[in-house]
Amino acid sequence: MKRRWLTIAMLISALLLGGPPAHAAGARGFTVTKAQSELISAFARQHPLDLAGLDGLVHQFTGEHMQVSINGVAGTIDGVQAQRLMDTRWQERRSHRSAGTISPLSTVPLDAYTVAISWLPLYGPPPQVKAHGVWDFRDNYVNGSAPDDFANVEILRGCSQIISTTTLTFDYTGRQTSNAAYLQDGGLISGAPISGVRDRVSGFVMSTDHGTMDVVVQNGAGCGTHSIVAAFKYEHNQDGGSVLGVSAGWGSLSVSYSSVGGRLQKGTNPIYRTL
């Protein structure tokens, strides 16, 4: 079972680091100390599917709950609710291993995976925030093969700047897998970074069962307080031809193939943040 929960060591560290910093009020209140930022980032890396535990840290340090957009859900929910929903979906898939509705345009089951996105606080100045995209395949779906999949965080960033994009992949046991993701497009112009995900199977284990795509957005020089928006998409292709091209912009992730194969793209609704 791949769910992870807040570890005792991290809980003790969180308690020692305390609650929201003194400067956390106002329009730019989604701020944390350097130590708190590092703890949140470390927890997200070590427990990529534990949205409840991550929400607990964010709430303790900022006074705010995470606002998570998850495919199939209108609006946003907090991390605890998102965790409960993902666990419910996982249990349903587990109890219906032979089930799975097929997409009318694909041989990939519609319940093959779930996607979600939320904002995570970062230490500043300058003011910055992290868009945290997550995908999660059901454990008994092990159809990873060429061509590569693509993950995409789309950002309406105003006058802010994209600083970095980091994509991590894990197998169903939670073990981080190496050399399975690469930056296809940094999105510095489009505002929509794209990561390639090399989904493969070895010993009946899918190396990219779940993963995270983090995009750091920083307030640009001379920018005042402004709103930014983000959404997350993931396209899976099973046994299709080679990739001819891939592009993205706000509201669009487009991938073309020499032959289509089985493909399925899922996305979230937008999430909003003041930076």
The residue ranges of every structural domain in the chain are 8-274
pLDDT at 104 over 90: no
Structure confidence by residue, pLDDT tens digits, 227-240: 999 999 999 998 77
- Least Cα distance to 152 among 131, 175, 176 occurs for 131
pLDDT at 9: 45
pLDDT at 171: 93
Arch. (CATH architecture) of 8-274: Sandwich (2.60)
Is the distance from CB of 28 to CB of 275 less than 8 angstroms? yes
Helix locations, 160-274, DSSP H: none
Burial of 245 (0-12, 13-18, 19+ CB in 10 A): exposed
Measured from the Cβ of residue 127, the count of other Cβ atoms closer than 10 Å reads 18
Write the CA distances from 75 to 6, 67, 78, 102, 231, integer angstroms: 26, 9, 11, 26, 12
Structure confidence by residue, pLDDT tens digits, 175-211: 999 999 999 999 999 999 999 999 888 778 888 999 9
Is the distance from CB of 264 to CB of 103 less than 8 angstroms? yes
pTM above 0.85, yes or no: yes
pLDDT at 93: 64
Mean per-residue pLDDT of the chain: 86
